[in-house]
Structure 1
Amino acid sequence: MDFRWKLKSKARPEIVEYLSNEINVNPTLANMLVNRGIENFQQAKDYFRPDLDKLHDPMLMKDMDKAVQRLVRAIQNQEPILIYGDYDVDGTTSVSLFYSFIKSFYSNVCFYIPDRYKEGYGISEKGVRYAAENNFKLLISLDCGIKALDKIELANELGLDCIICDHHTPGETLPQAVAVLDPKRKDCPYPYKELSGCGVGFKLVQAFSEFTGRSQANLHTYLDLVAVSIASDIVPITGENRILAYYGLERLNNNPRPGIKALLLKGKVEKDINITDIVFKIGPRINASGRLEHAKASVELLISGTLDEAIRRAELVEDVNAARKNFDENITREALEMIENQELNGSFKSTVLFKEDWHKGVIGIVASRCIEKYYRPTIILTESNSKATGSARSVFDFDIYEAIEACSDLLEQFGGHKYAAGLTLSVENVPAFQKKFETIVSERVSEIHLKPIQEIDDELILDQINYKFYNILKQMAPFGPGNPEPVFCVNQVYAENVRILKEKHLRFEIIQDGQNTRPVCIGFGFAEYYELLNSKMRFNIAFEIRENTFRNTSSLQLYVKDIKFD
């Protein structure tokens, strides 16, 4: 893919110099930190040394007092409680956290995950009726419910109280629940707005523990689940999320719960687990059950009491994940062929594809795969319960939720974020939706949106790449949205000792005039550059700096992001 390089702006020199002196780092690092909003010693301390004591008071969240009081009353009165959550990673980790916490001291609690195919996303009528028919008195929804006005109305009619814990953008009207916890409520004063669904559930657990005098230290055992939700739901790793992710990763690396440990074994992730490992190794396995079968299996895995029990359950999840990969590959191939045929008839600013027999569980993945080749807002639709249902994925800085909202007259249901959304419409409306969505996107998107950007933190010379520099970079983790892993470029270099690895990848050294350092570069999927690199032609290279350990010897390597030849 042809990237447009965007060198991040240089911060004001006086601020960079001040921070550089304050925390004793070189100007390159100081400039990077200023670009991340860090301008003084205290902000740098908060960034480099996350502290659980800096978590916000959960009672600042609107309706938190009502939620805690209702939960306390339910437990005091021995009322049956149903924990209800969505079927994706954020939903299943939320349910696992909240259920495990309540179950540790109160037995009259169960959990419910809706069937993706029979019930769809969020709180379903079937789920509400199940709760009422089985005499539950309190339903706590996690990672869903903020737009379930009619379902909450039904619950009220059936004598079922509801507490909603969500992090999605509310509509103009809030559900008439006992309590609605969502930091994105317009009237919510909570200072951090980007919690995951599991994060909102954690805040309720935190508030309940404070109110009832329970040890806050016990809550730290649940942070591995919160970290998995933060990484998998692609929420910003800033502010409070950074603290939760930092300590969640610490838990994952030192003492994860049996269910996650089993997933780490299946994913062959043995040490130094980071956000990327969660995104590519843990999250997809948890997601697989809900995509192809029923997400209840993922919750059962995550709440496993022993490693032996977890490994048995992880084997079942692994089988489903293997089937998911097969669906993913086949549907992606079909989708790309459809786009290629479409391209013969004209150029498009968006992709909207529909095929009635595509597996609903993988269409979000397929949308992301299509963007990797055709970089533009993409929606993949399939037929489910006689409706067209789909997943949308966006490109950098384009709000696909707003574009879908502009087509709401053709939709029956939609929801989501700036970069990812879901929608449902009648099959008959698909052609009209394809046409209108293309029109809306064409009006709002610019050519800049349609060419992927490779952001560059700074230009280096090769002798700047050393362990003193890297050891500070390493402390900037965890990396993710809002705090991306630093990417640098070096200009006017040439390559030596170029080797092809496994027919697709490259290993080579780079040399820059006047510099002594000759780092090894690893380029995954860059085999097509073999001849050009061997030609000694000069090029510019964008990369991340990583540490590689082989036979107990460690060295710094550059992981190639892009190469541009003169």
Structure 2
Amino acid sequence: MRWTLKARPEAGKIQKLANELGVDELVAFLLLQRGIETFEEAKKFFRPSVEDLHDPFLMKDMHKAVIRINEAVEKGENILVYGDYDVDGTTAVALVSSYLKTFYPQVATYIPDRYEEGYGVSYQGIDFAHDNDISLIIALDCGIKAVDKVAYASEKGIDFVICDHHRPGDKIPEAVAVLDPKQEDCTYPYDELCGCGIGFKLIQALAAGKGQDISELYPYLDLVATAIGADIVPITGENRVLASFGLQVINSHPRAGIAAIIKPLKKKKLSITDVVFIIAPRINAAGRIKHGQHAVNLLTETDINTAVIFAEEIETYNQNRKDLDKQITHEALQQIQQNEEEEKFTTVVYSEDWHKGVIGIVASRLIETYYRPTLVFTRSGEKLAASARSVKGFDVYNALEACRENLEQFGGHKYAAGLTLKEEQYEAFKNRFEEVVAESIDENLLQPEVIIDTELQLDQITPRFYRILKQFAPFGPGNSAPVFLSRRLKDTGYGKGVGEEQKHLKLTAKQGNSPAFGGIGFNLGDKLPLIRESYFDAVYSLEENEWNGQVSLQLKLKDIKPVLGNL
């Protein structure tokens, strides 16, 4: 890994902020690195408030959306809440449909089948609406590129309200309202909301029209926090507020569906990391293995006993997903090893037998071994479908856009995208994608990088320091957990490999006469000989470790390097 130490803020600024806040210089230093320079900015950071949420009517077309939905209610129209099959889409559908049903019964939900319909708005979904006398579709986490589909719906007398956060194409669909802060002519102050976040802004606007206080919408924020974590959007600005309050709901009064997922875990308090690795994969598993509607059913269920039954079904899908993920990753790695004769800038693999529901996870797994932009293809009906994942700093969406002549359709974000193409386009696309990436990527980006906030002495790690550090949470893109570098550490002799095939590293480290700290390094088992033979430098974040009822601070190791010349 490349170790990159962040620039040090000006000494005067550090001293000034430390004095203003009554904290030590190390805390002020870490805040300044996050762009927090004043008492007022620190207050907003440490005490997120719903007062800091923006007026939803600042979003382009929000008035139009509210007018059309209210008109549908007044006229007794049937409304279809439509969303993608991933966590962001299913939580958004659960949120908007359950809110609408608090005052209007004629609301149905629709999640497209991943295998028969594919991503986003589908003709089958529009036909379903037409067959069921539905005249308004609210599309969540999709629709910004559905120009032809929206036109098709319009011919059938069906209106669309689109709530999306993906990048628009050259043309915007002719819907009644298009809510997407990434539109060039949308002046909404924050454009990093996820799809569920856009759904929340919609119900916030509807609630304002009904004279409801925002506190009445708090119960929906467990869904928003789950989507923020799963969709890997920056936890800054509005997302920080929504995630903070959403985590409070998850930990105090979660909806029955989320309570049923976390009940077997017996965890006292969930963080955004727990949401990402515990709640999100289970919600996602429904759409990956069976059907996304199962996730919506779980998330809208109000009876805990029924929710437990739904959660157990989804847990079965999740176990199935894990088995497929492991098997396909193994096959994909073999394919790369067999076919790769020269150094490449991309990984592109294909098998018509791979399960479409897990190819995105497999793409992420391959990046762990071959750190470069990656595409995993499988057959989807008469076409080939792929999930794209990228490395930090490289925009895979832009790379796909440069290959658009070889694609049927594509959409997504900087680091994750999906696409389809005809089988005969595959080889030409594969070559063109390699060419585009080779021409445009900075080769430094092909080596994983760990960004270090500051160097730290182990004796600076105190319970008080960690208590303040915990208040920097929730962590995520744009507000990562602080990462520290400590030099010239020595293992006290307890270092060992742990886990399956001993691929993780467990140690106890000292620095001079400092107290000893336990450490765990996932996938660092191969560093065991290094810590036994020499002093070492370590890069890590801090976390609490609970064992036999005892809670202690430990180093969550990210990388280790030997101190050269000090064997």
Bin the TM-score by the shorter chain.
over 0.9
1:421 aligns with 2:417: yes
Identity %: 51
Q: 1:405 aligns with which of 393, 397, 401?
A: 401
Aligned CA distance change for structure 1 residues 384 and 156 (closer, same or farther; 3 Å):
same
Unmatched 5+ stretches in structure 2: none
Aligned position for 2:58: 60
Q: Is the 8 A contact 2:397 2:411 kept in 1?
A: yes
Q: 1:206 aligns with which of 204, 207, 213?
A: 204
How far apart are the structure 2 equivalents of 1:308 and 1:475?
35
Q: TM-score, normalised by structure 2?
A: 0.97
Question: C-alpha displacement at 1:538, in angstroms?
Answer: 1.0
Q: Is the 8 A contact 2:495 2:532 kept in 1?
A: no
The one-letter code sitting in structure 2 at the alignment partner of 1:22 is: E
CA deviations 1:398-422 (Å, max 9, x no partner) are 0000001100000010001110000
Alignment of 1:91-170 (within 5 A): 91-170=89-168
How far apart are the structure 1 equivalents of 2:557 and 2:21?
30
Question: C-alpha displacement at 1:211, in angstroms?
Answer: 0.9
C-alpha RMSD of the superposition: 1.2
Q: Is the 8 A contact 1:498 1:530 kept in 2?
A: no
Q: TM-score, normalised by structure 1?
A: 0.97
How far apart are the structure 2 equivalents of 1:37 and 1:210?
32
Q: Is the 8 A contact 2:140 2:163 kept in 1?
A: yes
How far apart are the structure 2 equivalents of 1:132 and 1:4?
55
The one-letter code sitting in structure 2 at the alignment partner of 1:351 is: T
Question: C-alpha displacement at 1:278, in angstroms?
Answer: 1.2
Alignment of 1:370-409 (within 5 A): 370-409=366-405
The one-letter code sitting in structure 1 at the alignment partner of 2:57 is: M
| Count of residues paired in the alignment | 560
The one-letter code sitting in structure 2 at the alignment partner of 1:48 is: F
Alignment of 1:275-286 (within 5 A): 275-286=272-283
How far apart are the structure 1 equivalents of 2:187 and 2:26?
36
Q: Is the 8 A contact 2:531 2:562 kept in 1?
A: no
Question: C-alpha displacement at 1:269, in angstroms?
Answer: 5.3
How far apart are the structure 2 equivalents of 1:318 and 1:553?
30
CA deviations 1:366-425 (Å, max 9, x no partner) are 000000000000000111111011000000100000001100000010001110000010
Q: Is the 8 A contact 1:498 1:534 kept in 2?
A: no
Matched residue of 1:154: which SS? Answer: helix
Q: Is the 8 A contact 2:193 2:239 kept in 1?
A: yes
Matched residue of 1:390: which SS? Answer: strand
Question: C-alpha displacement at 1:161, in angstroms?
Answer: 1.1
CA deviations 1:287-306 (Å, max 9, x no partner) are 11111211110100111111
The one-letter code sitting in structure 2 at the alignment partner of 1:404 is: L
The one-letter code sitting in structure 1 at the alignment partner of 2:352 is: E
How far apart are the structure 2 equivalents of 1:469 and 1:9?
21
The one-letter code sitting in structure 2 at the alignment partner of 1:250 is: Q
Aligned position for 2:345: 349
Aligned position for 1:274: 271
How far apart are the structure 1 equivalents of 2:431 and 2:525?
39
Q: Is the 8 A contact 1:498 1:533 kept in 2?
A: no
Unmatched 5+ stretches in structure 1: none
How far apart are the structure 1 equivalents of 2:371 and 2:549?
41
Q: Is the 8 A contact 2:495 2:531 kept in 1?
A: no
Aligned position for 2:433: 437
Question: C-alpha displacement at 1:70, in angstroms?
Answer: 0.8
Aligned position for 1:314: 311
The one-letter code sitting in structure 2 at the alignment partner of 1:376 is: R
Question: C-alpha displacement at 1:464, in angstroms?
Answer: 0.5
The one-letter code sitting in structure 1 at the alignment partner of 2:406 is: L
Q: Is the 8 A contact 1:235 1:481 kept in 2?
A: yes
Q: Is the 8 A contact 2:544 2:553 kept in 1?
A: yes
Moved over 4 A (4+): none
CA deviations 1:424-463 (Å, max 9, x no partner) are 1001111111111000000011221100001111001111
The one-letter code sitting in structure 2 at the alignment partner of 1:307 is: I
Aligned position for 1:334: 331
Q: Is the 8 A contact 2:30 2:453 kept in 1?
A: yes
CA deviations 1:27-51 (Å, max 9, x no partner) are 2222221111111000000000000
How far apart are the structure 2 equivalents of 1:269 and 1:380?
36
Question: C-alpha displacement at 1:341, in angstroms?
Answer: 1.8
1:363 aligns with 2:359: yes
Matched residue of 1:137: which SS? Answer: strand
Matched residue of 2:349: which SS? Answer: strand
Matched residue of 2:492: which SS? Answer: strand
Q: Is the 8 A contact 1:192 1:239 kept in 2?
A: yes
How far apart are the structure 2 equivalents of 1:36 and 1:361?
37
CA deviations 1:317-368 (Å, max 9, x no partner) are 111111111111111001111111233x111000111111111110000000
CA deviations 1:139-173 (Å, max 9, x no partner) are 10000000000010011111111100001111121
Aligned position for 2:243: 245
How far apart are the structure 2 equivalents of 1:497 and 1:102?
61
Aligned position for 1:300: 297
Question: C-alpha displacement at 1:529, in angstroms?
Answer: 2.6
Question: C-alpha displacement at 1:138, in angstroms?
Answer: 0.9
Question: C-alpha displacement at 1:94, in angstroms?
Answer: 0.1
Aligned position for 1:512: 511
Q: 1:454 aligns with which of 450, 456, 464?
A: 450
